[in-house]
Amino acid sequence: MKLKHLAVAAFTASLSMSAALAQTAVSDAWVRGTVPAQKATGAFMQLKSAQGGRLLSVASPLAGVVEIHEMKMDGNVMKMAALPKGLELPAGQTVELKPGGYHVMLMDLKQPLKDGDSVPLSLVVEGKDGKRETIELKAPVRPLGAANPAPMHQH
Ligand SMILES: [Cu+2]
């Protein structure tokens, strides 16, 4: 019985340690597939910062330029614009990047992205304490869906 309690304590300790190291959790990352002549696409994911922070920048070896965009209504036209200061991540809240909303814009693509590929992304997140962490991930490519609510991708 003693041994079992010890194991539980060790497990709890390692959990809280990894949470302290990684302030920002990324889940459900994916990239929209492209057709051969297409030079830009979007990457989507959910971000959750334990203590709050800001997604400052994103880079990928497969894209010459990567920006963080938002979609917003301008009159009755949906437009997208880069977020010059990055994307605010309120503490403990899940921020969703999705088609028609916030997205990571991959531009100047070096190759077509097809279903089954994966796209390396490096996310730089600045915490409330000013510390920066870089999160490396590989986002799977999903095929161009029938529903594409982001028609303004004309960089
Ligand atoms: Cu965009």
pLDDT tens digits for range 50-89: 999 999 999 999 999 999 999 988 899 989 999 989 999 9
Whole-angstrom CA distances from 104 to 18, 34, 49 are 26, 15, 17
Between the CA of 154 and the centroid of ligand 1 the distance, in Å, is: 8
Between the CA of 80 and the centroid of ligand 1 the distance, in Å, is: 6
**Predicted TM-score of the model (pTM):** 0.79
Contacts of residue 97, Cβ cutoff 8 Å, sequence gap at least 6: 43, 44, 45, 46, 47, 87, 103, 104
Contact between residue 86 and residue 57 where contact means Cβ atoms under 8 Å apart: yes
| Domain 24-142 of CATH type 2.60.40.1890 | yes
Between the CA of 61 and the centroid of ligand 1 the distance, in Å, is: 18
Between the CA of 107 and the centroid of ligand 1 the distance, in Å, is: 9
Ligand 1 (single-atom ion) residues, CB below 5 Å: 69, 80, 105
